[in-house]
Structure 1
Amino acid sequence: MFKLRLVTTLLASVAGLGSAFAAPLLVPHRAVYDLVLDQATDRSGITGLQGRMVYEFNGNECEGYTVTFRFVTQIATNDSSRVTDQQTTTFEGGDGNSFRFVTKSFVDQALDKEIRGEAKVEPDKLDVEIQQPSAQSLSLAKSQFPTRHLMEMIDKAEKGETFYETSLFDGSDDADKVMTTTVVVGKKTAAPSDDPELPAAPGLAKDQYWPVEIAYFDTGKNDGEGLPEYRTSFKLHENGVTRDLVMDYGDFSMKGKLVNFSLLKPSTAACDKPK
């Protein structure tokens, strides 16, 4: 299965982060992206790719944040074609210290893998408890979870920071490692009037965005090459919405175009923060 990490899968050190910046207002929303092949080397064997990704973000600082997404691709090679379907649901505590995750991966409609577990930030490490496919307890390097890192990333962008290194745990793959990431943030800019994604989200037409590029490195891999496992790039709005995605896996890359966007109704529950 292809690894998939959206903009919401970025992070850094947790210590003191709750007071390090004011949490930005991330809007609950649903975004649909059409996926197409960008480029592929002969070594990849891929001759065609198309698919769709559906992403939903909801929650707030008091209740925590829920992300669900489904990532379906049809990949063609010289002698075969297959459909992969990744379905993920995560919940992250509003304080950024707890994380639950479930990912089911299907190949041609048959279940290929299911990963289910939870993680908790401790003073000097990250404790991970995996329930499926088999019970396992792991102690990993201290890291953050996706939504918390998105908040930090917007904060750094607002302050004009253009390059930094972070770490990430998002429960993907076998949920057994922390990724090191390098993040490059470009100058905030406005979308041109002929931006091809704006018809799907006219409400974003007046909102500026940052162009962002991220490289992901396996901290436990020592192959001497120093190359990232993969890269992503996208346009990031200050409310947490991302679009114009590119996911580069080395031998091939794909593009994700925003084709449908809607705001979700925010929670009306009372939010009493400790003083």
Structure 2
Amino acid sequence: MSLRRPLLAAAFLTAALLPGAPGAAEPGVEAMVGHRAAYRLTLDRARDNSDIARAEGVMLYEVVDACDGWATRQRFQLTLTDRDGTDVETTSDYSTYETKDGRSIRFSLTQTSQGAVSQRVAGDAEVTPEGGTVRYTEPSTKQEALPGGTLLPMLHTIRTLAAARANQRLLVVPLFDGTSADGAQDTTTVLQAWQPPQANERFPALASLGSARMRVAFFDRTPSATGGGASAPDYEVGLRYYENGVADELKMEFGEFSVDGRMQELAVLPNPC
């Protein structure tokens, strides 16, 4: 089983909805914070015809403000138990370095199943107004063209939060995050209303911040693809993002089952810049 990474450092209608191509003065960059967060993963539901009886695991996520870019790392471990009581453990280790102008990214993903490597993806990408290019070194050496309007993960997050604050309800844009060996995917994001700050005894650092809930669907691109929504999504994730880029609640849809992720620990990192 291949589990796509949950969209955390990901951050969506097209660039016409949110003006501004990737650039050094991208609004919202200054609001994002470096942080470390730990999440507990549990089974939300399984389809009636699914063999999944239980799911539990952990996810550790870190984003570091490196002044001219964002360095992220996400480690994910999930154990699935079938109805016969057999356990299957899947892990992933995913890291990126994305420049703050949203124009380049280095990425690396290693997934294992039962201790054996099941997938490796690595390389770098450059984004231009016309699209850009991905250069893979794993699983094989090759290049892929990116479609026009492609966003990288942190810029995707920034644009999404800006859309929520502007009372937008729908965004559609290609996203490249380095988790697939097939280039960019189309994404469709449905945004709920922006929420004002609320009391937060568990995580006081979030108490003064607004937030928005959203649901992001990923679609595999085809040669005639013009945007997400034409077919069933490959993967979906629901989350609540705070205005500083911290997500405290996740719901990951993997098709035959879904997993809840709840933040258990949060450390906001000092800004070194």
**Post-superposition CA distance 1:23-66 (Å, at most 9, x none):** 34211000100000000114331111000000001115x42111
Determine if the alignment matches structure 1 residue 251 to structure 2 residue 256.
Answer: yes
Determine if the alignment matches structure 1 residue 149 to structure 2 residue 150.
Answer: no
Q: Unpaired segments of 5 or more residues in structure 1?
A: 269-275
SS in 1 for 2:160: helix
- Percent pairwise identity: 27
**Post-superposition CA distance 1:112-146 (Å, at most 9, x none):** 22211011113423211111222112223131100
Which of 208, 211, 214 is 2:210 aligned to? 208
**Post-superposition CA distance 1:202-240 (Å, at most 9, x none):** 322343311111122112288x97211122111111111
Q: CA deviation at 1:16?
A: 2.8
Matches within 5 A, 1:218-237: 218-220=220-222, 226-237=231-242
Does the aligned pair in 2 maintain the 1:28–1:266 contact within 8 Å? Answer: yes
Does the aligned pair in 2 maintain the 1:217–1:229 contact within 8 Å? Answer: yes
Determine if the alignment matches structure 1 residue 81 to structure 2 residue 87.
Answer: yes
Which of 224, 240, 243 is 1:238 aligned to? 243
Q: CA deviation at 1:149?
A: 1.2
SS in 2 for 1:156: helix
Q: CA deviation at 1:192?
A: 6.4
* Residue in structure 1 matched with residue 55 of structure 2 by the alignment: 49
Does the aligned pair in 2 maintain the 1:49–1:74 contact within 8 Å? Answer: yes
Distance change (3 Å), C-alpha of 1:33 and 1:20 = closer
Q: CA deviation at 1:265?
A: 2.4
* Residue in structure 2 matched with residue 272 of structure 1 by the alignment: none
**Post-superposition CA distance 1:130-182 (Å, at most 9, x none):** 112221122231311000111111111222212221211001032x1321111
SS in 2 for 1:102: strand
Matches within 5 A, 1:130-149: 130-142=136-148, 143-149=150-156
Q: TM-score, normalised by structure 2?
A: 0.87
SS in 2 for 1:44: coil
Determine if the alignment matches structure 1 residue 162 to structure 2 residue 183.
Answer: no
Task: Tell which deviates more after alignment, 89-98 or 103-112.
Answer: 103-112
Distance change (3 Å), C-alpha of 1:167 and 1:5 = farther
Which of 112, 115, 118 is 1:112 aligned to? 118
The amino acid that maps onto 1:27 is: V
Does the aligned pair in 2 maintain the 1:24–1:155 contact within 8 Å? Answer: no
* Residue in structure 1 matched with residue 7 of structure 2 by the alignment: 6
* Residue in structure 2 matched with residue 271 of structure 1 by the alignment: none
SS in 2 for 1:52: strand
SS in 1 for 2:163: helix
The amino acid that maps onto 2:61 is: Y
SS in 1 for 2:49: helix
